[in-house]
């Protein structure tokens, strides 16, 4: 079952095709699940390295699903390695001090945070549906203008215009603080 010399180019071409077709989508997938962008870049490389090692790529019926399955496993392994490093050991003095000074968020701070969230939601609801979709795809989901344009069948200039109009509306809002 070892790889034959003629299998290596096929696996490499499969990995190259997957990279060409899904690199942006994979990067966003990883960014949404990780805290640091540099971790997403490292894990994307690991995913494509694993793809390049596949001996029988022609048997993969759903390459996108296969790619994201590998990505999920890579994320799981990364988190498991991180758990060992992220463990914190407290001594009894530290625990007693923490119990004496619990984390406090004042009622006013909580109300202020909720008010800002409500105001932002109201501002976003004032946007036309297409403007809102474009704005969220770009700001929340990290899509480029070109990617949004291909998804919504719009030009990059139109995408830029919608985002500019959305920003302008948000800036004009009267924000209570």
DSSP 100-151: HS-----HHHHHHHHHHHHHHHHHHHTS-HHHHHHHHHHHTT---HHHHHHH
Is a pLDDT exceeding 80 seen at residue 21?
Answer: yes
Is a pLDDT exceeding 50 seen at residue 117?
Answer: yes
47, 63 Cβ separation under 8 angstroms: no
pLDDT band at 11 (very low <50, low <70, confident <90, very high): low
pLDDT digits (tens, 9 = 90+) for 84-100: 454 555 566 666 766 66
pLDDT band at 157 (very low <50, low <70, confident <90, very high): very high
Q: What is the mean pLDDT of the chain?
A: 78
**φ/ψ of residue 55, rounded to 5:** -80, -45
Architecture in CATH of 7-86: Orthogonal Bundle (1.10)
Is a pLDDT exceeding 80 seen at residue 1?
Answer: no
Q: What single-letter DSSP state applies at residue 28?
A: H
d(CA 57, CA 119): 51
pLDDT higher at 69 or 98? 69
pLDDT higher at 131 or 58? 131
- The reported pLDDT for the residue numbered 89 is 56
d(CA 30, CA 48): 13
Phi and psi based region of residue 95 (left: phi greater than 0; alpha: psi -120 to 50; beta: remaining) = alpha
- Report helix angle 7-33 to 63-86, nearest 10: 60
- CATH (one of 1.10.1660.10, 3.30.70.20, 3.30.830.10, 1.10.10.10) for 105-170: 1.10.10.10
Model confidence, pTM: 0.43
């Amino acid at each position: 079952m070892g790889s034959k010399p003629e299998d290596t180019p096929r696996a490499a071409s499969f990995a190259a095709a997957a990279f060409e077709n899904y690199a942006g989508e994979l990067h966003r997938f990883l960014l949404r699940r990780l805290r640091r962008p540099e971790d997403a870049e490292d894990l994307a490389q690991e995913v494509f390295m694993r793809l390049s090692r596949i001996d029988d790529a022609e048997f993969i019926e759903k390459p996108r699903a296969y790619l994201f399955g590998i990505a999920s496993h890579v994320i799981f392994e990364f988190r498991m390695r991180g758990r060992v490093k992220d463990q914190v050991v407290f001594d009894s003095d530290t625990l007693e001090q923490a119990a004496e000074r619990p984390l406090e968020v004042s009622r006013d701070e909580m109300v202020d945070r909720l008010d800002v969230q409500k105001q932002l939601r109201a501002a976003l609801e004032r946007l036309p549906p297409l403007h809102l979709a474009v704005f969220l795809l770009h700001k929340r989901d990290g899509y480029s203008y070109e990617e949004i344009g291909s998804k919504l069948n719009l030009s990059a200039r139109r995408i830029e215009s919608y985002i500019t109009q959305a920003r302008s509306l948000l800036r004009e809002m009267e924000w209570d603080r």
